[in-house]
Amino acid sequence: MNLRTLRAFVEVVRQGGFSQAATVVFATQSTVSKAVKSLEDELGAPLLNRIGHRAELTAAGEVVYRRAQAILSEREDMVAELSELRGLKRGVLRLGLPPIGSDTLFAPLFATFRSRYPGIDIRLVEHGSRRLQQMLVAGEVELAGLLAPLAGDFETQEVRVEPLVALLPGDHPLGKRRKIRFDSLAQIPFIMFEEGFALNPIILDACKHRGFTPTITARSGQIRFIVELVAAGLGVAFLPRSIAELHRHPAVRRVPLDEPQAKWHLMLAWRRDAYLSQAARAWLELTAKAHKVR
């Protein structure tokens, strides 16, 4: 058993198939397939049920997948700790940030961090919260920007807490209200973010609390596109207050939500048992000074 084989298996599960995993690990599909077959032969049990182009975990596969993630994350921690033990002047900060809000909250920090620590290479990835949490558990990133509440054994540092606002077409009668509840929007199609964005379950849970399931008419990972869809009259969308302010549109009204539980609560998270590099600690310190929860 080797780490490359485990990595190939883990990515097949994460990506939902062999061809997708091959792209992530920079190998051919046949190489990934052989790696998984080799692992199954070595362990003496089938790990995946191959259904068409999809692959689903067997009971044995569930065990191996969980253990493999832990092994791979420990390997990343070991490399990071050894690098600092050797006193290397150059280092790496593996950082995962969400597309929503990162431009305003974190982009200004990059220049400051670079000027203070020119030898640190920042390796940034941007994904929805679900994927970032997977990467954090697997040790692929040290720090990730995630939304509360979190399911998992993480340490956290708060960055920003804000209420959500509804974005409505400019001529919609509800756009004249001072505040609005989700049940007032039950008959309007919702424009949501793509699957994997943590803002989605916050909105859907609040709707469920009000006794309805919204009709979703469109999804996108781009804030500007979502705002344009609202302006075109396609439905209602939701953004944190400060981000909505930055994306003003003459044909869109912003109405605060009267929903105390519907908050955008962004935090930086890391695995509780992980070794946290000096670069990561420096980023946390810089972020704490730049942003106070409000």
pLDDT at 5: 92
pLDDT digits (tens, 9 = 90+) for 18-52: 888 888 888 899 999 999 999 999 999 999 988 77
Give the CATH fold of the 3-68 domain.
Arc Repressor Mutant, subunit A (1.10.10)
Whether 170 contacts 245, CB under 8 Å? no
Whether 181 contacts 210, CB under 8 Å? yes
> 2-16, 72-86, 150-164, 279-293 — which is least confidently predicted?
72-86
Every domain range in the chain assigned CATH 3.40.190.10 = 79-159+265-290
Whether 241 contacts 199, CB under 8 Å? no
Q: At the top level of CATH, which class does the domain 79-159+265-290 belong to? A: alpha beta
The residue among 266, 205, 207, 197 whose CA lies nearest residue 236 is: 207
Terminal CA-CA length for the chain: 49
Helix (H) or strand (E) holding 21: helix 18-25
| Cα dihedral: 268, 272, 277, 281 (round 10) | 40
DSSP state of 189: P
3-state secondary structure of 170: coil
pLDDT at 232: 96
Every domain range in the chain assigned CATH 1.10.10.10 = 3-68
Asked if the model's pLDDT at residue 87 lies above 70, the reply is no
Provide the whole-model pTM.
0.66
Question: Could you give phi then psi for residue 32, rounded to 5 degrees?
Answer: -65, -45
Residues 6+ apart with CB under 8 A from 58: 45, 46, 47, 48, 49
pLDDT at 158: 93
Confidence band, pLDDT 50/70/90 cuts, at residue 54: confident
pLDDT at 294: 46
- DSSP track, 99-162: TTTHHHHTHHHHHHHHHH-TTEEEEEEE--HHHHHHHHHTTS-SEEEEESS--SSEEEEEEEEE
pLDDT at 76: 81
pLDDT digits (tens, 9 = 90+) for 215-269: 999 999 899 999 999 999 999 999 999 999 999 999 999 999 999 888 999 999 9
Confidence band, pLDDT 50/70/90 cuts, at residue 288: very high
Q: How many CB atoms lie within 10 A of CB 268?
A: 25
pLDDT at 292: 67
Residues 6+ apart with CB under 8 A from 199: 100, 147, 193, 238, 264
User: Distance (Å, rounded) from C-alpha 69 to C-alpha 85?
Assistant: 24
Every domain range in the chain assigned CATH 3.40.190.290 = 160-262
- Cα-trace Rg, the chain: 22
Whether 229 contacts 237, CB under 8 Å? yes
Winning range, highest mean pLDDT, from 139-143, 212-216, 262-266: 212-216
In the CATH scheme, what architecture does the domain 160-262 have? 3-Layer(aba) Sandwich (3.40)
The residue among 82, 85, 84, 126 whose CA lies nearest residue 103 is: 126
Asked if the model's pLDDT at residue 212 lies above 90, the reply is yes
- Portion of the chain with pLDDT greater than 90, in percent: 56
